[in-house]
Structures are given as C-alpha cells and as structure tokens.
Amino acid sequence: MTENKKCTLQVQSETGKLEAVLIHYPGAEVENMTPRHAQRALYSDILNLSIARREYNQLLAVLKKISDVYEVADLLEKVLEHEPLKEDLIRKICAREQATNYIDYLMDLSALHLTKVLIEGLPLQINTLTDFLREEYYALKPLYNYYFTRDPSAVIGNNALVCKMANSVRIRESLIMDAIFKSDLFFSGNIVNSYELSQNDPLVKMEGGDILVVRDDILLIGNGMRTSAQGIDFLVRQFCKTGSGKKHVIVQQLPESPESFIHLDMVFTMLDNDKAMVYKPLIMDDSPYQTVHMQIDNGKVTKISSVGGILSVLRKLGIDLMPIVCGGKSDDWDQEREQWHSGANFLALAPGKVISYARNIHTLEELNKNGFEVVKAADIINGQRDIVSLGNCVITLEGSELPRGGGGPRCMTMPLRRTTEYL
C-alpha cells in the first residue's frame, strides 16, 4: 500500500491496467466455522486455512508485482485508531447485530484487538438464561466470506458503492467498507451508501460480483439470488441520473440454482478489450433467462427492452467480444464442472493479461487455443517470467481449497483504480 498518499478511485473498465486493488487476507474467521454452520456461512464445505493461505499467497504476490495492494485489516485498524470513527462503527455494528450490550467492552479494546474481533468474531458471554438457550457461540459472527472483497463494495467511475448485501451474515463487511471509505484517510472519491440511500429497503439488494463496468457508459449487471431488480433500479437512479449523454445498463437474469451461479462474474468475465470468458449454456445458448437493455439519455430511462444476449447487445454498442468458452467447446460436462470451480471467474490485470485457477484445465486449453500463454504464478513470483514482457497470458494459481469457498480471482479482489494503459 502506498503510504501517506490518497488513492484516487477510478474504474471505467474491467480490463484497464490495474493500479490499486483491495483484498482481505483470509484468517482465523475462515476456520471459525463448523460443518453444521457452513450453510449459514454461505459455504458448501469447510476450508483448510493453511492450504487456502498458501494458495492465496500466490494471488497476493502476483498482484503486488503490478499494483498497489490495500488490505482491509490494515485500513480498518487505522480507522479504529480514531475514537469518533471507532465509536460510530461499533454502534452501527452492534445495533445491526443486536449486540448493544457489548458496546462498552468493544470500545475498551485496542485498535489492533478490535480489528481482529470485528473480522474473526466475538464469542458470546453467557450470563443470562436467554443467551444460554440461544445455542449460539458468537455475539458477533465471524466474517467467513470477507476474503471475497469484490462483494461488499464496488468502484464505478470515481464512486465507491457500499453494497446492500443479500445475507445478514455479510452486512458487517459493508459497514466496515463504509467506515473505511468515509474516514477520508485513504481514498479520494464519492461515496454511495446503498443502505442509507435506499432507507434500508429490504427489497434492494446488490453485490459487487454482479456488477461489471464494461465502459464508462455501460454497466453490465446480474439479476439473481444476490442482486434484485429493485437493487438494479437503485443503481440506475444513482449512476445514470446525472450528466449528459447516453448510458446503458445491460441486465442478465441468472438462475437461482445451482449456487455456483451466485453472481454474474461466475458465468461471464472480461479478458481483453475484445474477448470474454463465458459459460456457454447461459450466455450463448437459448435459455429462459432474459437479457434486458436499459437505455438512459440525459439522466432519464428512455427505453427498456429484452435483447438477444450480452454479446449481441454489446456488439451493437461498439464492443465486439470474441467468446471463449469455460470448460472448452467439446464437452457439456467439462463446462459444468469447471464453471462450478470458478472456471469463468477471471481477474484482468491489464488487457489480455488475466489470473485464473490452474485446476480448470479444459478452460486453460481453450484459452491457449485462442492465443493466451498459460504461465504459472510461481514463475511470475520468482522472476522467471515477467508480466510486462508477456503477451496475452493467463497466470494460474494453485486452487484446491480457495475454490471451495465459492469464488475465483475476480471474487477475491476489488479494483480501486484502473487506467487505460497497457502493461
């Protein structure tokens, strides 16, 4: 992280050169979960933290080769060193999670200790019959999902959107992100708090994994289990009501199941200015799930229509994307298996330079056929290969544990700043 200098938020594309990114290094919160609590934590399985960290270290080391990396825990600790900010955040969290009797205890903790508690969880103090009968271990549950930093906030243009999460177990992530952005200690940009602006409307839901900034005038948004139609209407009002000229919001409906379709970026991600990774059955084949084009002119929605798919409508808007098929073109089962393990979830470091898991071999073969050199993350980290000198490439991370959490490299990163430059 760059010291003593604010980062100016700016994201106008999915593939521009990555200059600054926000991550959360997975910690004890991942292991503070039992199999019977996995579903509540939005997991289908429990993770081995030591292996997950070893895999995550590869992602972190590659990111640090090309961008400034901000870590949530570091930022949160600095925020909590300011007593007014500390008290405001604690009161908001405790009110939201019905833990107001813990406010004084939390206020007495050091910034370092409190950071640990707010992320890893606060055990319940059993001193009443009510608490004893709750059969609950935590007063503040661990943030099991926080290493997926893509979801609780998103940068659109120079706006920091604090997302209104679909599940209560993740709301504290958004509250922490709001505190970090509002502190004015690290970032320069506008803040859009969807909780406050929607007046906590329960129908309004949105998460960053469903939001793709295709161009400065085009948002691509998934409408599924985590982002509601009302949440998309909120985004349209906030990001398209100002300024002149035409803007476009393309909405892709998503199935409610399987759970691997949790966000749009699990079935569609940008690889280059003219290439995208797609899950073919949903994005290219006939399906009952609509693609809707919302046209905005001078801040007003002028037309809403059903269109023939993401690729088709983007082509009409001047973005002609060559689709590369997750799992390869030859076998439907390979496509399904590799999509399940985040095979369509790519993070672009720059146009044509992306990160993926090594386990999705059929997806990597398809990329290689289409001009992407497959490079091991270890070779980038130890200096055998240089990102800048490489052409189109996919940098592969070891991935036996991290994918079990239900996400890939895009899920684990929240870009703060991209430029239009090439590496």
Domains with residue ranges and CATH for the chain: 13-419 (3.75.10.10)
Residue 366: how many CA atoms within 13 Å on its side-chain side?
27
Residue positions counted in the chain: 423
Residue with tokens 């509540």: 40
Residue with tokens 């809403």: 304
Would you write out the chain's pLDDT as a tens digit for each of its 423 residues?
A: 545 689 999 999 999 999 999 999 999 998 876 555 545 544 555 678 899 999 999 999 999 999 999 999 999 999 999 999 999 999 999 999 999 999 999 999 999 999 999 999 999 988 878 777 777 789 999 998 999 999 999 999 999 999 999 998 899 999 999 999 999 999 999 999 999 999 999 999 999 999 999 999 999 999 999 999 999 999 999 877 766 789 999 999 999 877 778 999 999 999 999 999 999 999 998 889 999 999 999 888 999 999 999 999 999 999 999 999 999 988 888 999 999 889 999 999 999 999 999 999 999 999 999 999 999 999 999 999 999 999 999 999 998 888 887 899 999 999 999 997 555
For 160, left (φ over 0), alpha (ψ -120 to 50), or beta?
beta
Burial call 350-370: b when 16+ CB within 10 Å, e when fewer? bbbbbbbbbbbbbbbebbeee
E-strand ranges in 177-255 read 187-188, 190-193, 211-215, 218-223, 246-253
Pick from 179, 214, 218, 217: nearest CA to 195: 179
Count other Cβ atoms within 10 Å, centred on residue 8. 13
Distance, CA of 201 to CA of 405 (rounded, Å): 29
pTM value is: 0.94
Assign 322 to helix, strand or coil.
strand
Pick from 162, 171, 179, 169: nearest CA to 89: 179
E-strand ranges in 332-397 read 347-350, 353-357, 373-376, 393-397
Count other Cβ atoms within 10 Å, centred on residue 420. 11
CB proximity list for 85: less than 8 A, separation 6 or greater: 79, 179, 183
Distance, CA of 145 to CA of 225 (rounded, Å): 16
E-strand ranges in 9-152 read 17-23, 68-71, 122-123, 138-140
End-to-end alpha carbon distance in the chain = 20
CB proximity list for 158: less than 8 A, separation 6 or greater: 8, 9, 10, 188, 189, 190
Q: Exposure of 30 by Cβ count < 10 A (0-12 exposed, 13-18 middle, 19+ buried)? A: buried
Pick from 102, 74, 51: nearest CA to 2: 74
